[in-house]
Amino acid sequence: MSAVTIATTGRALVTGGAGFLGSHLVDRLVDDGWEVLVLDDLSSGKVSRLAGARRRGAVSIHQIDLRADELMGTVGRFSPDLVFHLAAQTSVSASVSDPRRDADINIVGAVNLLEASSRAEVNRFVFTSSVAVYGREVDLPARENSSPRPESPYGISKKVVEDYLRFWRKERGLEFTVIRPSNIYGPRQDPSGEAGVVAVFSRSCVDRRRPTIFGSGSDTRDYVFVDDVVDALLRAAELGEGGIYNIGTGVETSTEEVFERVARHARFGGGAIHGPPRRGDVPRSVLDWSLARDELGWRPFTTFEEGIGWTVDWFARSL
């Protein structure tokens, strides 16, 4: 299956556009002919990730906190046709340690953006939620109609924003689509964060340092390549109408197996160090993505072996 191109072009606003996933999305939008405004507070985003897109197309970057009063005017002046909301506090353990900060960034910031988008008469709002909304009690593979029981403030905040989207659609007429990606990996991911174990292992193995596996390594995740998630975002903008879609592969891979695959590709002969499990993590996670297949025509077109190879090679080149 080939990647989708949105039939029309115009103005797209991307929050968190200087981040890992956001910068890949900006690349695709620029290549498809969109004018793009990136809103990012640059707390974890890097302008350097957007260097290629800025050379190729019309990309503006505005450093801003989504909770700021000036957001209304910024969004209104740009007058976007599409809004992709990716910006978030993404650390599960940080959300457990400081739930108030997590809610302030992820919920208050999103509500401010929703109000700005509504006033600007945005055609479609695409929200990147998380597999963290499901928690550990859901039957696996998790389906969109499962009853979410998030166990971390991060997962709770993502679920709350989904609920706000339904309110905004009913009361303000703002059309939306939500994607719930599983664990995203690929080039440009920050190896210093907790959410990117593939990036962490890749950086360590390329640098010939032993990485840390938190817990036994038997915990599983559903790993989906970043380009596949970008394709899902574009399909959500083109075809989704008030829907929520899982974006994953339906395959569980243990943390220990991820390390082994990364180490093999990086030709790293050392073992990993084991540390205590992290608070808020669930032992298993895997998604049923059949609804995205049936309604968006989406499927994961990158194998895990291919994705690991491209990711490790990128880290090797970026020494």
Q: Which residues are catalytic?
A: 154
Cα–Cα distance between 250 and 221 in angstroms, integer? 10
Tell me how many degrees the CA angle 200-204-208 measures, rounded to the nearest 5: 170
DSSP secondary structure letters along 237-269: HHH-SS-EEEES-S--EEHHHHHHHHHHHHT--
Angle at 224 between CA 218 and CA 227, to 5 degrees: 155
CA pair distance 263, 259, nearest whole angstrom: 6
Q: What are phi and psi of 239, to 5 degrees?
A: -120, -25
Say if strands 223-225 and 183-185 run parallel, antiparallel, or are unpaired: parallel
